[in-house]
Amino acid sequence: MRRPRVLFVAYYLAALFLILFFKNRTNDLIVENSHFVNTVLTGVEEFQNFFPIAYMLNFIDTYDSLPTIYVITPTYNRLTQIADLTRLKNTLQLVPKVVWIIVEDSLDKTDKIINFVFDSNLKIVHLVEKTLPTVKPSGTVGHKGVEQRNRALKWLKESNVANGAFYFADDDNSYDIRLFEEIRSVERIGVWPVGLVGGIKYEAPICKNNKVIDWFFVYNPRRYFPTDMASFALNVKLLHEFEDIYFERFTRGDLEGVFLKKFQIKMNELEPKANNCSKIYVWHTRTRKEIIKSGIDFDKEIMKQI
């Protein structure tokens, strides 16, 4: 179980080695142009302050005591699937103490995602749950990813996970690394703004005296918790405090709000994160649907990767 910390420290030591290596090499440079030497030395100093390295240094001494973040990502087969997952993977690789729960919309695990998981230097739980066709009740909205998120919640509960926070991260969103430290500190339910959502530039909780008093949003004004899936995280202990915690597949356009109501929490009891909900650390981006030209003989082995 100490392997993640070993890898984390190994990355740091490798970065430190590069810093010292280049710093020593600059001492041996024999050049007439002193401006070049100063430029190299300045580059080394900038490398020491390079954000991912400086960020990792913050957790060297406290790694073992950090709460784990469980990132839940439903995914389905499409041309951009691996591209989207790779972008999210590259973000999560910079975050310490993360367990990534990937749930395929499939009856069985696909080779494509099996290979992706194998090649990823992350602790990943790979699950499957097929979205089954059902008759949609009149006046309701069918939501994507419901069965997959519910499968992940079931895994968390059955695994008796007792420490940390969980977050629903769609694979085509864009995430600032700072979001995950906001998630890590959630005591019950934390909330924050989301960019590019609901037909406007952002949706956000409105806060006063560090309390959520209202919400800035446009879509479906009847919602009590007008949140996007990317705008909240929960402490895992809530899964043990409440029974029957799951998403309802068909709601009246309020999937997230109906889910949050199950925890019997009031709006002013939500925890405003991201500098009192004044910063945007996640954007509801969507990958463009690619149209592939027909009649082209692609290499089948390469196509298996995408």
pLDDT of residue 37: 46
Indicate the number of domains in the chain.
Answer: 2
Structural domain contains residue 274: yes
Asked whether residue 40 falls in the same domain as residue 90, the answer is no
Asked whether residue 80 falls in the same domain as residue 1, the answer is no
Structural domain contains residue 306: no
To the question of whether residue 244 is assigned a binding role by annotation, the answer is no
Asked whether residue 42 falls in the same domain as residue 87, the answer is no
Structural domain contains residue 11: yes
Asked whether residue 250 falls in the same domain as residue 102, the answer is yes
89 Cβ contact list (under 8 Å, min separation 6) = 100, 116, 120, 122
> 33 falls in which pLDDT band (50, 70, 90)?
very low
> 290 falls in which pLDDT band (50, 70, 90)?
confident
Q: What percent of the chain has pLDDT over 70?
A: 78
Structural domain contains residue 270: yes
Asked whether residue 42 falls in the same domain as residue 71, the answer is no
Report the pLDDT averaged over residues 160-184.
Answer: 96
User: Per-residue pLDDT tens for 63-74?
Assistant: 889 999 999 999
Structural domain contains residue 177: yes
Q: Is the pTM of this model over 0.85?
A: no
Residue 223 has pLDDT above 90, yes or no: no
Dig out the tokens for 140 from the structure.
């309701």
Asked whether residue 145 falls in the same domain as residue 218, the answer is yes
Q: What CATH number does residue 154 fall under?
A: 3.90.550.10
Report the pLDDT averaged over residues 267-279.
Answer: 97
Structural domain contains residue 144: yes
Q: How far apart are CA 282 and CA 272, in angstroms?
A: 15
pLDDT of residue 31: 42
Residue 115 has pLDDT above 70, yes or no: yes
From the list 101, 44, 107, 95, the residue with the least C-alpha distance to 281 is 95
> 5 falls in which pLDDT band (50, 70, 90)?
low
Question: Are 229 and 220 a contacting pair, CB within 8 Å?
Answer: no
> 114 falls in which pLDDT band (50, 70, 90)?
very high
User: Per-residue pLDDT tens for 229-259?
Assistant: 999 999 999 999 999 999 998 787 789 999 9
3-state secondary structure string across 266-285? CHHHCEECHHHHCCCCEECC
Structural domain contains residue 295: no
> Which of the residues are catalytic?
256
Helix or strand or coil: residue 115?
A: helix
> 220 falls in which pLDDT band (50, 70, 90)?
confident
Structural domain contains residue 292: no
pLDDT of residue 287: 86
From the list 194, 251, 185, 195, the residue with the least C-alpha distance to 224 is 251
Report the pLDDT averaged over residues 85-100.
Answer: 96
Asked whether residue 122 falls in the same domain as residue 211, the answer is yes
Asked whether residue 227 falls in the same domain as residue 249, the answer is yes
pLDDT of residue 201: 96
Dig out the tokens for 123 from the structure.
């602790």
pLDDT of residue 6: 62
Domain of residue 3 covers 1-24+36-49
Asked whether residue 42 falls in the same domain as residue 74, the answer is no
Asked whether residue 45 falls in the same domain as residue 88, the answer is no
From the list 153, 154, 102, the residue with the least C-alpha distance to 128 is 102
Q: Give the type of residue at 35.
A: H
Asked whether residue 40 falls in the same domain as residue 77, the answer is no
Asked whether residue 198 falls in the same domain as residue 100, the answer is yes
